[in-house]
Amino acid sequence: MGFMSSVLFQEIREYRSYAYSAHSNVYVPKQYRKSQMADFYCILSTQIDKTMNALSLLDSLLQHATFTQERMDMAKQQLMNNINNAFPNFRMRPATVDDNLADGYSYDQNADMAADLQQFTLSDLNDFYRQHIQHKPYCITLVTDTKQLDTQQLAPFGKVIRLTVSDVMK
């Protein structure tokens, strides 16, 4: 979902310099897993002293985003460029075809995506946002040195659960 990614990048990275990088994406289930839900994620890479500002702004954008036709047109162009540049070179073609077949596609699904993208409207985007992102619960994962971050400041975002390296890497 290049559009939300560009909103995050502009608002968090470019306008306020709260992060080194900011992006988001939607992982849509493969053809053979159509019954599964899609995953939406955001990633911020920031300095410890800007973490709370970046998280607060991210929360605000997730709950109260506004979209403009100009931003949408830019995002659609970016997505179309990605589709056009995704054509594999001759060495990658067999692996790409094999991956598509394993994912349940007998053709290049980028053609479908390009056609759908041409029909996608600002109204569609707003509907998607309201139905699938706005006011939905989400999980925040911080990878940080907790000695440098007052975890009490995270209370407005929900329950804080601390994990150690041994909790994650077994």
The architecture CATH gives domain 2-141:
2-Layer Sandwich (3.30)
Sketch the domain layout of the chain as residue ranges: 2-141
Q: Kindly indicate the confidence band of residue 16, based on its pLDDT and cuts at 50, 70 and 90.
A: very high
Q: What is the pLDDT of residues 111-157, one digit of tens each?
A: 888 999 999 999 999 999 999 899 999 999 999 888 898 888 999 99
Mean predicted lDDT score pLDDT of the chain:
88
Is-contact 109 87, C-beta < 8 A?
no
Residue 156: the pLDDT is 92
Instruction: Output the furthest CA–CA distance in the chain (Å, rounded).
Output: 54
Question: What does pTM read for this prediction?
Answer: 0.80
